[in-house]
Amino acid sequence: MLRGGSDLNNGRRFLAMLLVLISLTAYGAEMNNLGDYQWKNRLILVQVAPETEGAVETLTDARAALNDRDIIWFVNTGSGLVSNQATVSGGVERDVNELLAKVRSDERVLLIGKDGGIKSREPSLDLDAIFRRTDSMPMRIREMRTD
């Protein structure tokens, strides 16, 4: 009987370790394109221009509010992509640059919903307006009710 209990404990430890490894792998999974964010995050894409000067600082300063809304941001500075993600894959950078290149020149800021649809196109970064728009989305309203 003692041996059976020991095998059971070893099995439980193995299962617990396996679940930890799986969750760490899933959490650390690299996002390879913008589609990988769908249903997980909202996105703000910014093309730097005089109208969006200071965007990186503004977004960095709003970290808590952005995290609360599951928002990931990417700013094309002209010399590279800056984000609140630790690393940005080449595929994501390519997708962001391609999407920003396709919009009109006065559409410097895009808000993309968790469903992958573009929710707003703006000439400048107005986080208060983005938060109001985000907070009025049905999915966000459900999120706020469960928090």
Q: Alpha-carbon distance 12 to 21, whole Å? A: 14
20 and 40 in one domain? no
Report the pLDDT value the prediction gives residue 28, as an integer from 0 to 100: 37
Helix (H) or strand (E) holding 124: none
Report the pLDDT value the prediction gives residue 123, as an integer from 0 to 100: 95
Which residue's entry shows tokens 């728009």? 133
55 and 19 in one domain? no
Report the pLDDT value the prediction gives residue 99, as an integer from 0 to 100: 94
Instruction: List the CATH number of the domain containing 90.
Output: 3.40.30.10
Q: With 60 as the cut, is the pLDDT of residue 110 above it? A: yes
Which of helix, strand or coil describes residue 85? coil
Give the confidence band of 135 by pLDDT, cuts at 50, 70, 90: very high
Which of helix, strand or coil describes residue 95? helix
Give the confidence band of 2 by pLDDT, cuts at 50, 70, 90: very low
94 and 106 in one domain? yes
For the segment 59-90, what is each residue's pLDDT rounded down to a tens digit?
999 999 999 999 999 999 988 899 999 889 99
5 and 52 in one domain? no
Which residue's entry shows tokens 């808000």? 111
CA-based end-to-end distance of the chain: 46
Number of domains in the chain: 2
Q: How many CB atoms lie within 10 A of CB 61?
A: 12
21 and 39 in one domain? no
1 and 54 in one domain? no
Per the structure, the complete domain to which residue 6 belongs is given by 1-30
Looking at residue 136, the DSSP 8-state letter turns out to be T
